[in-house]
Structure 1
Amino acid sequence: MPKFAPLTVPLWLLLTCGCLIGAISFGARSGLGLYMNDISVSFFDNQTAILSLSLAIQHLVWGAAAPFAGTFADKFGAGKSLALGTIVYAAGMALIPHSTAPIAMHVTAGVLIGVGVAFASFSIVVATFGRKVTPERRSLAFGVGIASGSVGQLVLVPLTAYLIGAYGWQVSLYILAALLLAIVPLSLAVTGKGEPEAGQPDQTAREAFAEALGYRSYLLLCAGFFVCGFHVAFIQSHLPKHLQDADLPLWLGGVSLSLVALFNLVGTFGAGWLGGKYSKRSTLSAIYFLRAITIAVFILTPLSVWSVCIFSAVLGLLWLSTVPLTTGLVAQFFGMQYMAGLFGVVFFGHQLGGFLGVWLGGILYDSTGSYETVWWMGAALGIFAGLIHLPIREVPVPRLARAAAAS
């Protein structure tokens, strides 16, 4: 007889606290690209490659830890995962101003924040949301949870820029670390862990991961999400520096990332709604093709305040709109029992792309003095991702299909 996690708090409270957690967790690290110039000049003789590598390590560690964090949340509860991750995340943020050596920066900005955000990320929250709604509403529920991250980016990136200007970059990091600790009490409302849904057979975690890694559509989804990570991480970390080099106003870096976040609210909600009405696979392909076009147009257009704002708005519509569709496909393939852990594997592909995007951005910039090569790589990868999603089959694994037929 399948078991179900009881809803021990009102749904409205779960959604409110979960969205606040997503906003703080995602928003606090979204502005780290604003520190690229200050930290590089203060500690590393203006070498952007060092902090770029630290942020790349953060993406890689976040991705590598995500399956373990998701499985921990599935087994022991999302609230415990969120509280534990937040403490590590805040410690990493607060120690950055003391990381004057490259290895120290790699540990604090890279490893500690990477591990912390894996256990305290919006992916833990949205898996909990998905367990509390019907399958028809899951894609929209995922969109709501992921949109909370955009709200965090929209609010905290300009706040970070203000704090840097008003109090200095070191103090601003202490303030962000203190803000992160607010997640700990909020996590008390995010209850529930993985259980098989009605009519679905039980599995061990090992069986779930073995099944997923043998499912072709799941592997294609992982490969496509790699490209999403490349785009998001490169642009988030290096766009402010790219604009500074073009002698555009210093405030434009923060405004551009805020515009991405603002329009991402529309894109994420829209993608969540589309995923409940139409083919998730086809919608994902369209998003990646549109990203490739958007990046190519941005490269070929002379840089100005208006061109940057238009690019940021269009990109925002496509920014995290891939996530509710991707999470929706994982749930459709395998059900919700190990949703957080299985999405963690897909997210590892995302973070591998993020690692390469951040790291190659710094390496190629230092060697060529320009980001142009990486921009064109992003456009080409967008075309690749659009194509690789087309063969995905939007059907449950045979185990669930047999259970559905038997019932």
Structure 2
Amino acid sequence: MSAHQEDTRFSKNLIYMLIGSAFILALSLGIRHGFGLYLVPISHEFGWSHQVFSLAIAMQNLLWGAVQPFTGALADKYGSKIVVTVGGVLYTLGLLLMSVSSSVWLLDLSVGLIIGFALSATSFSVLLSAVGRAAHPSKRSMAMGIASAAGSFGQFIMLPTTLLMLKSVGWSSALVISAMLVAFIVPLAWMLKTPKSGTANTIVSTIKPAISFKQILKIAFNHRPFLWLALGFLVCGFQVVFLGIHLPGYLIDHGFDATTGTIFLALVGLFNIVGTFAAGYLGDKYSKPHLLMGLYGLRGITIIAFLALPLSTWTVYAFGTIMGVLWLSTVPLTNGIVANMFGVKYLTMLSGIVFFTHQIGSFFGGWLGGLNHDMTGNYNIIWACSIVLSFVGVLVHYFVNEESIVDD
């Protein structure tokens, strides 16, 4: 087989890794995206304000992001397989503990602390970096887009499943069942094989060993496009967590039942499959920063249209469909830019640094949404922030380029 032929198709090793990553992301992110459905039943049972549950989720997102660079460094050094295995065990434990959380501190410990750690090991930064190493540069964005789409499929499947469990067995038993499903991450982690040497898709073997861990950090933090990219990802985190956690409650406030919010989130998951795959495909052909500018701009326009139009079931579903296409399409593009800038030797760690800013945004999107609701009875301030941040996302990516500054 010629080098050109090898470049234009996926290797068997990459396909095997894509399958494992797809199932892990589907489980990890699918169950995590359903947490917003627990806000109302748990809060009502214990008489908590929305801010209590929102703060626990906000803590989860912040800790997830803060730990991500360190989890990434461990994955870079010891391999994704070990890190994901540990994450799967912690995730299972966290869900089981959450199922018996009758006090605020126990809720914070389970859904905030333990699951925050677990998500840092079982989500995009670790999994997409593993895929990025196995893929040839010419197919890297496409491979990351395929893996990202799997997480969206998990959201599409798990959201109606979670609602069904909540209605039939209650929130505590639903969490126990979710823990049993998440436990499958442990055996699936063993599909994350390190790329074999000698193949055209093996990027790790071609990396020059001269650049040390400390040197790459210094280069990254002095590279302004990298810093602008990280700032742009903060916008993504704020918006997706605000909508994922609070839109079901927003709809209940306006007279809709829980099913409407669940269908909204399921539509987001379904159409994000299209969005992430398309982003990965287009990212191999066009400027990734320009694509990100378009994505954030369209998000702002879509939110404005949703708020301006009369609220109905059909506008909710249309909003879910369009936001789904735009939802996590940023992920393969952002990680692809990091890989192009710095190569893949330290990709997991560097992607984790960028992801930390995403999670800072997630913290404020989740927590301030609940705080705004408790203080005013609505989400008006956070909606306005989401719109302004969309256009901040457009602006900052104007200063981002994906030129390589480290030999891959």
Q: TM-score range by the shorter chain?
A: over 0.9
Contact 1:26 1:122 in 2 (8 A): no
Q: CA deviation at 1:201?
A: 4.2
Aligned residue identity for 1:55: I
CA distance in 1, matches of 2:11, 2:122: 20
Measured on the aligned residues, the alpha-carbon RMSD in Å equals 1.7
Aligned residue identity for 1:252: T
Work out which of the residue numbers 13, 16, 20 in structure 1 matches 2:23.
20
Q: CA deviation at 1:104?
A: 1.6
Pairing 1:370–2:387 present: no
CA distance in 1, matches of 2:400, 2:24: 32
Q: CA deviation at 1:13?
A: 2.3
Work out which of the residue numbers 146, 149, 159 in structure 1 matches 2:148.
146
Contact 1:138 1:328 in 2 (8 A): yes
Q: Deviations over 1:64-117 (max 9, x none)?
A: 011011111110010100000111111111111322221221111101100011
Q: Could you say which residue in structure 1 is the equivalent of 2:162? A: 160
Q: Could you say which residue in structure 2 is the equivalent of 1:29? A: 32
Q: Could you say which residue in structure 2 is the equivalent of 1:54? A: 56
Q: CA deviation at 1:302?
A: 1.8
Q: Could you say which residue in structure 2 is the equivalent of 1:40? A: 43
Work out which of the residue numbers 84, 96, 111 in structure 1 matches 2:113.
111
Q: Deviations over 1:182-212 (max 9, x none)?
A: 0100111102289745263443222222211
Aligned residue identity for 2:25: G
Secondary structure of 2:206's aligned partner:
coil
Contact 2:337 2:402 in 1 (8 A): yes
- Equivalent positions of 1:161-310 (< 5 A) are 161-192=163-194, 196-198=204-206, 200-310=208-318
CA distance in 2, matches of 1:191, 1:371: 45
Secondary structure of 1:98's aligned partner:
coil
Pairing 1:354–2:348 present: no
Secondary structure of 1:391's aligned partner:
coil
Q: Could you say which residue in structure 1 is the equivalent of 2:7? A: none
Contact 2:338 2:402 in 1 (8 A): no
Q: Deviations over 1:19-49 (max 9, x none)?
A: 1011111111110000000111112x24010
Is the alpha carbon distance of 1:199 and 1:167 closer, same or farther for their aligned partners in structure 2, counting shifts above 3 Å? Answer: closer
Pairing 1:65–2:67 present: yes
CA distance in 1, matches of 2:77, 2:326: 33
Contact 1:9 1:191 in 2 (8 A): no
Question: How many pairs were matched up?
Answer: 393
Is the alpha carbon distance of 1:10 and 1:192 closer, same or farther for their aligned partners in structure 2, counting shifts above 3 Å? Answer: closer
Q: Could you say which residue in structure 1 is the equivalent of 2:337? A: 329
Work out which of the residue numbers 281, 304, 326 in structure 2 matches 1:318.
326
Aligned residue identity for 1:387: L
Q: CA deviation at 1:53?
A: 0.1
Q: Deviations over 1:108-151 (max 9, x none)?
A: 11011000110111321111111112101101111011111101
Q: CA deviation at 1:303?
A: 1.2
- Runs of 5+ consecutive residues of structure 2 not aligned to the other structure: 1-9, 196-201
The TM-score normalised by the length of structure 2 is: 0.93
Q: CA deviation at 1:299?
A: 1.3
Contact 1:63 1:118 in 2 (8 A): yes
Contact 2:230 2:357 in 1 (8 A): yes
CA distance in 1, matches of 2:121, 2:57: 17
Deviates more, 1:103-112 or 1:331-340: 103-112
Is the alpha carbon distance of 1:203 and 1:219 closer, same or farther for their aligned partners in structure 2, counting shifts above 3 Å? Answer: same
Aligned residue identity for 2:32: R
Aligned residue identity for 1:302: P
Aligned residue identity for 2:58: A
Deviates more, 1:148-157 or 1:92-101: 92-101
The TM-score normalised by the length of structure 1 is: 0.94
Aligned residue identity for 1:108: S
Contact 2:37 2:163 in 1 (8 A): yes
Contact 1:9 1:189 in 2 (8 A): no
Aligned residue identity for 2:22: C
- Runs of 5+ consecutive residues of structure 1 not aligned to the other structure: 1-6
Q: Percent identity?
A: 39
Aligned residue identity for 2:191: A
Contact 1:301 1:307 in 2 (8 A): yes
